[in-house]
Amino acid sequence: MIMKKMSVYRDTVKKVGRGVFVIALAFAALSCATKSDSYKEIDIAVENNVFATAVAVIEKGQELKNPIYPEKNSIMLFLDKGMLEHYAGNYQQSNNDLQEAERLIEEAYTKSVSADLMSYIANDNTKEYPGEDFEDIYINVFNALNYYKQDNVEAALVEIRKLSLQNGKLDMLARKYENVSKSFGDKAMEQLKKIGFDLTDALPGPGAINFSNSALARYLAALFLIADGNNDGARIELGRLAEAFTANPNVYKNPVPKTVAEERTVPAGQARLNAIAFTGLSPVKEEGQFTQNWGFMKNAPFRNPVFKLPVFVDRPSVINRVEVVIGENKFDLELIEDMGAVIKETFAARFSNLFFKTYLRVLLKYAAADIAATQAGQKNASLASVSALAAKKVIDAVEAADIRMSRYLPNKAYVGGINVAPGTYNVTINFYAGSSIVAKAEYADFSVKAGTLNLVDGVSLR
């Protein structure tokens, strides 16, 4: 009899072990395509400012049996490729890719209700990546620049107006998250605290959005209106730009660039050269692991749940100064938008929903496993501990934070300008790391004309 019980016990342990092993292998196969190692070759090309090479790596990688961007990450593919095409100067192709990303984001929004319900059962990585609000905003910014580079100011204004007009994306964003923390996060937290749950200092908390107006979008709107001959409209947009700094203190901690006031006072007979530059790479999501104490679980392994949530990690830039040289004149560009801060701020607005979905999903899995382990223990006390440990291992293995996002957005945007006599100039944008120039954008024989927009731009993502 004893030998028979021992045999049953060993068979049960083996079955549990095999189940854990198979699920762990399946999870490893699923997750490997989303690890940052997949982007290593692209990152190297970006670090060296060879953006056409980065695009080629993506295109080649998509032909593999296991592509860099699987089908459920199509929005990421078109965002990343579109941004890199922009940096490489392939403006029409960049437009095509970014517009496809925008279309897919709109399409994903219509599917969001059923997809969100599924993510209470399986983690967000199992569904199509729907895009983030900050990605949807900057698609239009870079599409506008793409059109300007193709001498299509009218189309550039259309892209910017998608953001800035009443009921545009920025207006809708503000209304979308109005009182989100109070209506969902705070009330849910009150209930969780009643059963002993509380946030630790390390765990990000739910937050209300504090970003509803983009200074960068307003600045570009003003410039493109100048190019379109609408100086009154440009003055209105510059006024709204100043309002953005007042309304969004979490994002705009820097002063309003002096070029904003200077745009309104170009002396008669003079022409204005404007410059915009992008530096660094935006923060990216990585998986953070957090634990809590669930003393109400009957089996000890389930009393310390593991929550895997995305946390932002900064990618520091070596660029500390951007200088423009035009003829004998030099001036430094000033920060207009900390795009990394915008990314963090807009993501924080939906964190409460993400956090509580994760909490409830883990709670349901742990509770079901706790009941099963307790029932197993009623037949054999030793089985309770074995099955509890095995089940926790499986649950923790298949849980994963959704760290998908566009990887090649800039971190900061700088602007500036100078009034000069109309004429032809050699213009250079110098990117400094310390006292050394590490990258530059050069415009030979650039024509600066009075009464219109004369815009140069440059990028260094180092």
Q: What are 381-403's pLDDT values in tens digits?
A: 888 889 999 999 999 998 999 99
DSSP notation for 248-281: -TTT--SPPPTHHHHTT-PPTT-EEEEEEEEEEE
Are 330 and 455 in a shared domain? yes
CB of 323 closer than 8 Å to CB of 416: no
CB of 76 closer than 8 Å to CB of 69: yes
**Domain end: 130, 147, 169, which one?**
130
Tokens of 76: 């990421």
The pLDDT value given to residue 351: 80
In which band, very low, low, confident or very high, does the pLDDT at 42 lie, cut at 50, 70 and 90? very high
Amino acid at 69: Y
CB of 337 closer than 8 Å to CB of 413: yes
Are 84 and 199 in a shared domain? no
Instruction: Report how many domains make up the chain.
Output: 3
Asked whether residue 161 carries a pLDDT value surpassing 50, the answer given is: yes
Are 167 and 304 in a shared domain? yes
Residue numbers of the domain that contains 91: 36-130
CB of 387 closer than 8 Å to CB of 398: no
Percent of the chain with pLDDT over 70: 82
DSSP notation for 327-392: TTEEEE-EEEEEHHHHHHHHHHHTHHHHHHHHHHHHHHHHHHHHHHHHHHHHH-HHHHHHHHHHHH
Cα–Cα distances (Å) from 138 to 4, 237, 278, 306, 346, in that order, read 67, 18, 13, 34, 12
| Pairwise CA distance, residues 119 & 362, whole Å | 11
> Exposed, middle or buried by CB within 10 Å (0-12, 13-18, 19+), for 439?
buried
Angle between helices 153-164 and 215-227 in degrees, nearest 10: 150
Are 159 and 228 in a shared domain? yes
**Segment among 187-201, 298-312, 341-355 with least mean pLDDT:** 187-201
**Mean pLDDT value across residues 276-286:** 97
**Mean pLDDT value across residues 142-155:** 97
**Domain end: 97, 130, 163, which one?**
130
Are 28 and 50 in a shared domain? no
Residues 201-240: pLDDT tens digits? Answer: 445 454 556 677 899 999 999 999 999 989 899 999 999 9
DSSP notation for 96-163: HHHHHHHHHHHHHHHTHHHHHHHTTTS-GGGS-----HHHHHHHHHHHHHHHHHTT-HHHHHHHHHHH
Residues 421-432: pLDDT tens digits? Answer: 999 999 999 999
**Domain end: 87, 103, 130, which one?**
130
| Pairwise CA distance, residues 253 & 430, whole Å | 24
Are 43 and 185 in a shared domain? no
Are 298 and 327 in a shared domain? yes
State pTM to two decimals: 0.86
Are 3 and 68 in a shared domain? no
The pLDDT value given to residue 91: 98
Are 17 and 51 in a shared domain? no
Are 72 and 157 in a shared domain? no
Q: Which residue has the tokens 């440990």?
A: 389
Are 374 and 444 in a shared domain? yes
Are 109 and 160 in a shared domain? no
